[in-house]
Each structure stands twice: as structure tokens, then as C-alpha cells.
Amino acid sequence: MRNRNCRKNFGWLIGLLLMLCSSNLYAVQDSVKLTVRLRGVYDSKITITPYRNGLYKEPLKELAGVQTEVTMAIPKAYLPGQFLLRMDYRKQAADQPYPSEFIFFLNKDDLTIGINPLHTQPDSVRLKNDQENTAYFSFMQENVGRRQQLIILEQVLAEYQPKGNRFYRDVEKEFEQKRTKYNEWIDQEIVQNQDLFVSRIFTFQKAPGVDWYASPEDHLKQQGEHYFDEIDFQDTLLLRTQAFNQYVTTYMRMFGMQATSKPLQDSLFTLAGRIACEKASAGHPKVYGWMVDYFYQGFEALAIDPGIKMLAKHIQDPRCLTSKKQEILRRLDGMKKLVVGAKAPAFEAEMANEMQVRFKGISKDKDYGLLVFYDSACLHCKELLRNLHKWYAEPEHAAWLDVITLSVDDVRSDWESFHRGEDYAWTDLWASGGINSQLANDYYILSTPVMFIIDAENNILHLPQSIDEVNQFIFGN
């Protein structure tokens, strides 16, 4: 009986040990170890930030006073991924911290980065137990030499006149042969490194076919239609790479280079967005949603109303996992309601002395009113306010116009600090609640700057995009 109990207890103990081992094994598998070894400096603050939604924004790890090395666990939820290693280092104990950065990839294996913050070029960084970064740096280095041959031929084909003679056809043939060979090399690299996270980045380097005899307009349209042919929109891991964001930005720059006026820019960027969102709609809902978000942010920043209207179709698609749906719907609603001829809503805002004021209309001695919504941290807003300050200093301008600027800073103290540093000859107010205030909601303010010109009856007369447009409207009437 006693032996039986001993065996039973022993079996229970073995089972417990197995459970603990299993639990520890799971804990190890739930993260990977990242070690940073410093060289050549006294100490450094170490910050690790994952790439998310187009930015290195929210630090995952922050460790101050590291002198030799530090090891940290990176949760699997962030893997595989691209990361920013920031080092705020001191070369000597009496020095002030100085920033240095190194971008790296991390997948399923532990990684040790041996680095001197003063020398962060890939060939100066020691990477132990690494496959991802070594493969990426090796590919990019070889790619420079191979791509340069194509770039030279592209320049000849783009600039040489007349097109179509024997020399031109020979160069065209050589370009096509080298382009095919170059793309085949990239395909081989992708297959060879198919188990690595970085292999998906290689695709962005592929060289597309070119119709050298097409008109500039047709050439741009052809480039746009085929730009994403090699991209796997089902691959959600693309969203963890900075290269994908850069690839789409290069696509937009391609269209922007053809824009010679604001109306043409709006038309071209709307076309670019339509093509890209249609392509992405056949892929994974997350990638589709990311693409819609990308273009919404660009259209909003550049005040491209046709582009925002174009997105209406996509936000109604249940497969589109956009994070901007409510913002886009509000913007579309505002475009319908706050138009020329509509009434500007009355509002309440705060003065610097914290008094609440209610706006019902402009001064009776003015013909026009200008409402300017801004954010004190917005560079475009600051530039616009500087231009407005200079323009409004002219007596003949101030005589016509009653100006009210409205900050939508989320934090009042941010506005107060900005307000104290300025000497405006107009009323400057703060919308209590910032971008989420009732005032911002009534005027459909989702980004800044935004301007409205109104008359004595609070009718909206114009939505200018610049002070030049304000001047043209006032003195062009």
C-alpha cells in the first residue's frame, strides 16, 4: 500500500515537473531575446521601437544607463518585424546624450547586436545568430550595382531623340534583356530566402516594363496600372515593413511629378488612389484598409476633396478594415453640409483669460470674416499663420476682414504657450476639447489648417486653401 502511494506520489510529481517544463518552454517560445552590446561609449539609453502604421512611434523597451550590454525579451506579437534601435549615448561621463539610430529586422531567432553608436553603418555592426539582417544587407548591396546598369539605359531611352532609329532600338533591346535578367535574379533571391521575413521586401526592387513610345500621359497611366503587379496584397506582413510604405510613397511621387497646378494635382492623386485602392481591394482586408487609410491621410492633408469622395466606395466595403471609417464619413458629411452658401454654425470658445465667448457673427464694420482652424504643433498651420499675420498687417487688408483663429490643440496649455509667443492683431481662441470638441465637430475639422470666409449673415462664401486665395477672393470680387 505504501509502495503504491509512493508510486502514485512519484507519478504526480513527474507530471507536475513536466507541466512546469512545458510552461517554461512555452514562455521561451512566447518571445525572443534581443541583446545590445555597446562599444566605444561611456553609456547609453537604449530604446527599441517597432515599425507600425507607417511610423516608429511607440517604444516597446526603454532602458537607461546601459554601459556594456543589455538583454530584453521581444514578445512574439511583434514578430516578425522591423525595429528602430535608438541610442542616446555619452562618449564621456560629462557629455550630454547624443542620439544615434540603427534599423534592424527580428524574426524567430534570438539576436545579438554589437554596435558602436558612433558607427552604425551595416558593415560596422556585428550581428550574432542573424539571418534576416545579413540577407537584407547583402541583397541591397548587390542590388545597387545591378540596378545602376538599368538606370543608365533608362536615362538614355528617356532623353534620346529621335526615338526609333537603329541606335535607339539597340539600347531598347539591351535594356529589356538586362531588365529580364535583373528581375530573374530578384526572383532567385526571393526563393533562396523564402523562409526569411525580409524576402518580401526584395519584390519592391523589381523593374517594370516600359513603353518608351507612349505619350507622357499614357506612360503615367500604364505605370500606375502595372505598378503593383508584383505585390502580394494578401500578405499582411507587408504592413510591418517600412519598405512597403516607401514603395507606395514613390508611386504617389510618380504622379505628383506630372502635376503643374492644384486642379491637375488633385486629379492625378485621385487617379493614383483609385488605382491603388482597387488593386488592394482584391487582397487581405487589413492591407486593403491600410491602403484606404494611407490615401485618406494624404487627401486630407492636401485638401483633395475629389480623392476623399472617391474613397466613399471603399469604406462601404465590409472587407475594408480601415481605421479611418468614421473620420472619412464625417469628412464626407462635412463636404455635403459646409459648402458655399451654407450657414457657418455659431460656436463657443475660450479666450486666453479663460472667459467663454460665443460667436454669432462678424463685426458690423467688416464685409467679411475669416475663420481659421489650426493646431499649434502643425507646421503647415504655423506657416499659414505667419503669412496671414504679414498680410493682415496691411491696413487695406484689415479694413475688409474680421479674423478669428481657433486652436484645436487637445491640451489648453499647448495653445497658451503658443498664444503667448504671438502678437496677433485679431481674436485668437481655443476650442475646449481640441479636435474632439463640439466646435471642431460642428465644422467637421479632422485635420488642420482649415479656413472659411463668411459674410455678415454667416453665409459661407469660400473655403480658401492659402492666404493668396483669401486675397484673390476679397479683392477679386
Helix, strand, coil shares of the chain, percent, nearest 5, are 50, 20, 30
pLDDT band, very low/low/confident/very high, at 319 (cuts 50, 70, 90): very high
For residues 47 and 101, the answer to whether their CB atoms sit within 8 Å is no
Distance CA 182, CA 147 (A): 8
- Does residue 8 register a pLDDT over 60? no
pLDDT tens-digit readout, 190-200: 999 999 999 99
H or E element that contains 441: helix 438-442
Residue with grid cell 524567430, as numbered in its chain: 108
Name the CATH topology of 31-128.
Immunoglobulin-like (2.60.40)
State the CATH architecture for 347-476.
3-Layer(aba) Sandwich (3.40)
Q: What is the mean pLDDT of the chain?
A: 89
Domain ranges of the chain: 31-128, 157-337, 347-476
CA distance 468 to 207: 42
CA distances from 89 to 37, 58, 60, 82, 93 (A): 13, 20, 19, 22, 10
Q: What is the pLDDT of residues 93-106, one digit of tens each?
A: 999 999 999 999 99
Q: Count of residues for the chain?
A: 477
**136 close to 201: Cβ distance less than 8 angstroms:** yes
Helices (H), 79-215: 132-159, 166-192, 199-202
By the 8 A CB rule, do 273 and 299 touch? yes
pLDDT at residue 26, as a whole number: 35
End-to-end CA distance of the chain: 107
Going by the DSSP 8-state scheme, the letter that residue 79 receives in this structure is: -
Q: Tens digit of pLDDT for each residue in 236-268?
A: 999 999 999 999 999 999 998 888 888 899 999
> Which 8-state DSSP code applies to residue 207?
P
| 79-108 mean pLDDT | 97
C-alpha cell recorded at residue 446: 479632422
Tell me: pLDDT of 408 over 80: yes
CB 129 within 8 A of CB 35: no
Predicted local confidence at residue 237, as pLDDT: 96
Q: Report the pLDDT value the prediction gives residue 24, as an integer from 0 to 100.
A: 42
C-alpha cell at 312: 466613399
Q: What's the pLDDT score for residue 28? A: 39
CB-based burial label for 450 (10 Å; 0-12, 13-18, 19+): buried
Confidence of residue 446 (pLDDT cuts 50, 70, 90): confident
Distance CA 350, CA 428 (A): 9
User: d(Cα 422, Cα 202) in Å, to the nearest integer?
Assistant: 50
What gap in Å lies between CA 472 and CA 466, rounded to an integer? 10
Residue 403 above 50 pLDDT? yes
In the sheet with 368-374, reading across from the earlier edge strand, the strands are 356-359, 347-350, 427-430, 401-407, 368-374, 450-454, 460-462
**pLDDT of amino acid 9:** 55
The burial class, CB within 10 Å (0-12 / 13-18 / 19+), for 370 is buried
Query: Residue 11: what pLDDT?
Result: 53
What is the percentage of the chain residues whose pLDDT exceeds 70? 94
pLDDT > 90 fraction of the chain, expressed in percent and rounded: 65
Q: How far apart are CA 227 and CA 222, in angstroms?
A: 8
| Cβ-based neighbours of 209, under 8 Å, separated by 6 or more | 176, 179, 226
Q: What is the mean pLDDT of residues 59-76?
A: 96
* Same fold? 31-128, 347-476: no
Least confident of 14-18, 170-174, 317-321, 414-418: 14-18
Q: Is 455 left (phi over 0), alpha (psi -120 to 50) or beta?
A: beta
